């Protein structure tokens, strides 16, 4: 049971760090037709990404039309992510309210699916926030109400 809580805690810290670190990160979204859209991923809900592009404005892209998502011009963000994750973990562990929310995710089917995905767990273990943000299942977690509550509780 303790291992599951630790996994949840690490996963939640990475989710929150991902939203903080990549908030203004520009992504290159390569579509299945070969075209590329540059922009900030604002959200992902029901299989549709909402992207804010400097040239196209706000666009909605179905997940099935996306070949890949990669980071564009954010070399400094990844190096700082490890320290942010550790700091967020410490804040989470110091708050009974946040820990209760983390524990509530233990039985969430979407969270369980993410914890069982070897690709996602490899990204979690290596702190690869770019890979996590490019994963549709991980992005789905960002829209969960409890994740948003945890994020808001951790905001300064």
- Calculate mean pLDDT across residues 35-59: 85
φ, ψ for residue 26, nearest 5 deg = -85, 135
Q: Is the pLDDT of residue 147 over 50?
A: yes
Structural domains of the chain in order of their starting residue, each with its CATH number:
1-23+74-156 (no CATH), 26-72 (2.30.30.100)
Query: What single string gives the DSSP state of each residue in the chain?
Result: -HHHHHHHHHHHHHHHHHHHHTTT-EEEEEETTS-EEEEEEEEEETTEEEEEETTTEEEEEEGGGEEEEEEES-HHHHHHHHHHHHHHHHHHHT-HHHHHHHHHGGG-HHHHHHHH-HHHHHHHHHT-HHHHHT-HHHHHHHTSHHHHHHHHHH--
* 30 pLDDT tier (thresholds 50, 70, 90): confident
* 76 pLDDT tier (thresholds 50, 70, 90): very low
pLDDT of residue 84: 60
């Amino acid at each position: 049971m303790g291992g599951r809580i630790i996994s949840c805690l690490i996963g939640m810290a990475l989710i929150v760090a991902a939203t903080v670190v990549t908030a203004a990160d520009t992504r290159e979204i390569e579509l299945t037709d070969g075209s590329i859209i540059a922009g900030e991923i604002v959200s992902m809900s029901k299989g549709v990404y909402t992207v804010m592009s400097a040239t196209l404005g706000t666009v909605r892209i179905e997940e099935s039309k996306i070949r890949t998502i990669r980071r564009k011009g954010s070399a400094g963000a990844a190096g700082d992510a490890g320290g942010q994750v550790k700091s967020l973990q410490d804040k989470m562990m110091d708050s009974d309210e946040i820990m209760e929310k983390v524990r509530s995710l233990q039985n969430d089917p979407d969270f369980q699916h993410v914890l069982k995905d070897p690709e996602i767990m490899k990204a979690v273990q290596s702190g690869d926030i770019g890979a996590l943000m490019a994963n549709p299942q991980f992005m789905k977690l960002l829209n969960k109400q409890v994740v948003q509550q945890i994020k808001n509780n951790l905001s300064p």
